[in-house]
Chains A and B, each alone.
Chain A
């Protein structure tokens, strides 16, 4: 929605939003907790309120919206094929496409936990939909595996609705969620967070009766003798999000093996000219505010592409993640770029009192002290115009973390 509105503002005339769900707003509709919009609206909003502000603007615009409409193919000539209840099969020749399909949760099948397939094992997001949209509780005694933000949010939500959340187990020695969520969702309610701990067995045939948890060693393998049985009727999984890129693949777009999203330039243009990506389909975000900003960048890119016809040849410099940095988005920067470029990235582990170093072709251009860096919190660094002027074709922009001793 943010991309559509921005493109409209920039003079793009015919815009259509194709939405698989019955309503606009995506996952925000079920995220009824507050904390959205602090950055963008300078207000603390709930998910539906945040989405609502954009839905209202879309309603007042002449942007076409088709809900309940699923895009089934995008080809390399930008022909979008979709199916919906009104027209049935629908083919649209687009000049530019912005991908904003979001991500999905990693399911149980990806975890190889043994045991039967009893009812009561589900992702935290599924439970969130049951409670917040459908209005019923999926269980009463809960264990949560994974400390991603949705898992933490659901620990609090289930507690408020009268369930007993016994613990949150996290495989890693640190949480994958935001520090504020540990405080307000777990600490506030006395829910223990067990780090370096995982679920090694699920008990029960028809319904979950309990799980066996165990501590893990530094190679993340369960340690024999540390197993503990925990009685519960529900196991919620909050074990990671995967950008949903099946359509991107069929469109022949190159994907990044770390982010799971397309490789993009600073305008969020993918390897297919005229196809842009933003939000969780590009990289999993912590904050919706940054998704909005990213969508607006993609819209600027798309509007510019439509105006210029995409005939300009782009010369790129490349962003390379070094020591301590897991990935950087965008992966490449047009050296002719005239605006400041924000680089978004995540670090590999928790660092205290460290330095972020940015180098262009070996020369340090930014050195920034950081009291704390964590993989659960996306970082951003601005490349200003004067730094960008140093970029030549095939220049390398490196980001690394330097630990102070």
Chain B
């Protein structure tokens, strides 16, 4: 099977021509860096995305603090992952990189804070 896909690894957005069989990549052309090739491989075999969201924050300047998954997770798990993220409440102060939810859904991926909140003085 053949299809075109746009690489989302960076804002250049290379148009890839991909040939594949089931979950196996046969050939890919059109990428301008190695990440394009890797993207095509995972996109065919097991598409993954980094999730970004917010979690509730107690005692902070703001009621929420932003978070991300520190590695891509399976696309199929995104909404289950969101459910877990929405159960979390953290307490201020929070620093960038603080783990707010370790090993989400047993994936080995941590949800970490991406902004800081020193809390209410």
Q: Nearest 4 CB-CB pairs, A to B?
A: A48-B115, A179-B13, A135-B64, A32-B66
B68/A34 in contact, CB under 8 A: yes
Q: Is the CB of B13 within 8 A of A178?
A: yes
Which residues of the other chain, B, contact A184 by a CB distance below 8 angstroms?
A: 8, 49
How many angstroms between the C-alpha atoms of A390 and B15 in the bound complex? Answer: 36
Contact-residue bracket for chain B: 20 to 34
Interface of chain A, main secondary structure: mixed
Q: Let me know if A133 and B64 touch, CB within 8 A.
A: yes
| Tier of interface size on chain A | 20 to 34
The B53-79 residues at the A interface (CB cut-off 8 A) are 53-54, 56, 62-64, 66-68, 75, 78-79
CA A134 to CA B13, docked complex, whole Å: 32
Does A394 have its Cβ within 8 Å of any Cβ on chain B?
Answer: no
In the assembled complex, the Cα of A371 lies from the Cα of B115 at a distance in Å of: 38
6 contacts between A and B (CB under 8 A): A32-B54, A46-B66, A48-B96, A133-B64, A287-B11, A377-B11
Question: Do residues A134 and B82 form an inter-chain contact, with CB atoms below 8 A?
Answer: no
Q: Are A38 and B8 in contact (CB under 8 A)?
A: no
Contacts of A180 in B (CB 8 A): 6-8, 10-11, 13
Residues of chain A in range 8-64 having any CB-CB distance to chain B below 8 Å: 29, 32-35, 38-39, 44-46, 48-49, 52
Q: Is the CB of A132 within 8 A of B63?
A: no
User: How far does the alpha carbon of A33 sit from the alpha carbon of B8 in the complex, in Å?
Assistant: 13
A residues in contact (CB < 8 Å) with B: 29, 32-35, 38-39, 44-46, 48-49, 52, 131-135, 160-161, 178-180, 182-184, 188, 286-287, 371-372, 377
Residue pair A35, B11 in contact (C-beta under 8 Å): yes
Q: Report yes or no: A160 in contact with B114, Cβ–Cβ below 8 A.
A: no
Q: Are A46 and B11 in contact (CB under 8 A)?
A: no
Residues of A near B116 (CB, < 8 A) are 48, 52
Task: Determine whether the beta carbon of A134 is less than 8 Å from that of B63.
Answer: yes
Q: How far, in angstroms, from A180 to B56 measured CA to CA in the complex?
A: 29
> In the assembly, what is the distance between CA of A162 and CA of B110, in Å?
22
- For the A-B complex with A180-B11, A371-B15, A377-B11 known, give 17 more contacts whose Cβ atoms are closer than 8 Å: A32-B53, A32-B115, A46-B114, A48-B115, A49-B96, A52-B115, A132-B64, A133-B64, A134-B64, A135-B54, A135-B56, A135-B64, A180-B13, A183-B8, A184-B49, A188-B75, A287-B11
